[in-house]
Amino acid sequence: MQVKEGSLERANCPVERTLEVIGGRWKVLILRELFQGVKRFNELQRAVNGITQKMLTQQLREMESDGIVHREIYLQVPPKVEYSLTPLGASLKPIIDTMHEWGVRHINLT
């Protein structure tokens, strides 16, 4: 594995690590929905406007791997899968709330 100059220092940066976990176009929007409670895949896809099935699957897998989303599989017919936040994922709410407040104050949405 090649390491770019300076990447070792950045890998230890808490802000960069946080952005790796919640960054990108979709993760914050998925979090927004999961802050409201447990959701099934189709509910998330309907709520996150414009996300494809493939992208939602990828993002949920990454979030699960990072320990912020829990995936519960129910052994029934038809299969049922629910997504919820772990305590670590729930701990992101104040950060997202602060980002929301900043947007309300500083971005003209009209």
Query: How buried is 21 (Cβ within 10 angstroms: 0-12 exposed, 13-18 middle, 19+ buried)?
Result: middle
**What's the mean per-residue pLDDT of the chain?**
89
Question: Any idea what the CATH number is for the domain that residue 92 is in?
Answer: 1.10.10.10
With respect to residue 1, please indicate whether it lies within any of the assigned structural domains: no
With respect to residue 54, please indicate whether it lies within any of the assigned structural domains: yes
CB 44 within 8 A of CB 33: yes
With respect to residue 5, please indicate whether it lies within any of the assigned structural domains: no
Amino acid at 69: V
pTM as predicted: 0.83
Query: How buried is 70 (Cβ within 10 angstroms: 0-12 exposed, 13-18 middle, 19+ buried)?
Result: middle
Report how far residue 8's alpha carbon sits from residue 41's, in angstroms, rounded to the nearest whole number.
Answer: 36
pLDDT digits (tens, 9 = 90+) for 42-81: 999 999 999 999 999 999 999 999 999 999 999 999 889 9
With respect to residue 3, please indicate whether it lies within any of the assigned structural domains: no
With respect to residue 38, please indicate whether it lies within any of the assigned structural domains: yes
**How many structural domains is the chain composed of?**
1
User: Could you list the residue range(s) of the whole structural domain that residue 78 is in?
Assistant: 12-106
With respect to residue 73, please indicate whether it lies within any of the assigned structural domains: yes
